[in-house]
Amino acid sequence: MERFRPLHPIASLRSLDPNVRSLGLVSFFADLSSEIAYPLFPIFVTTVLGVPVALLGVIEGIAEATASITKYPFGQAADYTGRRRPFVLAGYTLGALGKLVIALAAGWPLALAGRFTDRLGKGMRTAPRDDLIAANTKPELQGLAFGLHRSMDTMGAVLGPLVALALVQAHVSLRWIFAIAVVPGLLSVLAIMLFVREHREQPQRRAFRLSLPASPAFRWLLAGSLLFAVGNSSDMFILLKAKDIGLGTSAVILLYVLYNVVYSAGSLPLGGLSDRIGQYPLVIAGYGVFAVVYLGFAGARSGLALAGLFAAYGLYIAATEGTSKALIGRAIPTGERASALGLYYTATGLASFTASTVGGALWSAVGPWATFAFGAAAALAAAALMLLGRGKVRRALAA
């Protein structure tokens, strides 16, 4: 299936299953909710609750580890039961509940409970949701479907920080902003209840076990993605770079919004392009863009240069995020796909912890340029590794 196919016009969106479009709407509301709350969480915890920065790091570490580690077992659970919608519904419900708990928190234990609940919901829903998208999409439209989903999801990430900024400037208290963020979270739950349906698959009913799918396409993608993830440190570092050259907080937020605008705008056309030229080559190209951008961050000295780099950074993720999911959707059969997606997310998420740890150490010991140079080197190595397996991947997907 890696052979040439005609490029699908935007009109092809009408041929996508209603579930795919509905899950895009769900993710839009959920990401709007998260991006209203997340940028303000460190400020809320340290100023309103009086939590030390060191303890904030522990809270965030537990929260993100929860999201990464739970994606694989919940993916397995979806394959085991043959059901995906209940995990999606429960996961988004927990996301909304977590923000409500934070809004009500009087001390750090409840703030931790809120972040844990929110990230547990993300771990619960991610693999079953993406499996549901893949199961309701023809193989030749996988890139378009995941491109649409990432585009709608990221629209929420564009609007969320802008809403948060407007509320802060209107002197709304941080606690009330978290309460307001619950509303779009509940709308995502309502959208699932009203619009998302599924046909129950034949359950596997096998015991939980750690296993690697036999698909060559999946194995080469996983290998390259793990190598890439080791150098793909937290976006916190590119935001710190902006602060490091003297930009103000509002300018940093606007750069982050620019990145998400490009990400959202690029996801749909690049997803459709991947259906034409293949997802695997587009992921490799995306890693190349990342390497160039990170080298640019290493030497950037002006706000104008950073604006161009943030925009190009949005193109990298638009080229890789949805297309990686689409490749897995094509390579893994129904009944095993949620487990494969969960394994992919858990493995790359854990590798990213290494990246942020190494990136922070290099930043402190050598300088900001070293963090970005390391990331660029890892991306180039990952692209080279995936090029080695391209022939085997092409033959496997065409079989």
Query: Could you report the per-residue pLDDT of 63-72, keeping only the tens digit for each?
Result: 888 999 999 9
Give me the pLDDT at residue 204, please: 67
Residue 142 within any structural domain of the chain: yes
In a domain, 204, yes or no: no
Same domain, 268 and 383: yes
**Which of 50-64, 201-215, 260-274, 352-366: highest mean pLDDT?**
260-274
Tokens of 295: 């080298």
- 43 occurs within a structural domain: yes
Torsion angle (degrees, nearest 10) of CA 28, 188, 98, 154: -10
Radius of gyration of the chain (CA): 20
pLDDT at 4: 41
Mean per-residue pLDDT, 272-278? 93
Domain count, the chain: 2
State the pLDDT confidence band at 205, using cuts at 50, 70 and 90.
low
pLDDT of residue 11: 55
Same domain, 79 and 125: yes
Q: 220 and 168, same structural domain?
A: no
193 and 292 in a single domain? The answer is no
One-letter amino acid of 306: L
Is pLDDT of 342 > 70?
Answer: yes
Instruction: Say if residue 288 is in the same domain as residue 318.
Output: yes
- Greater confidence (118 vs 214) lies with 118
**Same domain (yes/no): 218, 191:** no
Q: Are residues 127 and 248 in the same domain?
A: no
Give the burial class of 302: count Cβ atoms within 10 A of its Cβ; 0-12 exposed, 13-18 middle, 19 or more buried. exposed
Please indicate, yes or no, whether residues 333 and 264 belong to a single structural domain of this protein. yes
pLDDT for 57 beyond 80: no
The overall average pLDDT reported for the chain is 90
- CATH number of the domain bearing residue 106: 1.20.1250.20
Q: Which of 197, 229, 263 is the last residue of a domain?
A: 197
In a domain, 9, yes or no: no
Least reliable range by pLDDT among 2-6, 158-162, 303-307, 308-312: 2-6
Instruction: Note down the domain range covering 62.
Output: 17-197
Residues 84 and 173 in one domain: yes
| 9-13, 99-103, 195-199, 341-345: least confidently modelled range | 9-13
- Rounded CA-CA distance 49/39 in Å is 16
Q: 361 in a domain, yes or no?
A: yes
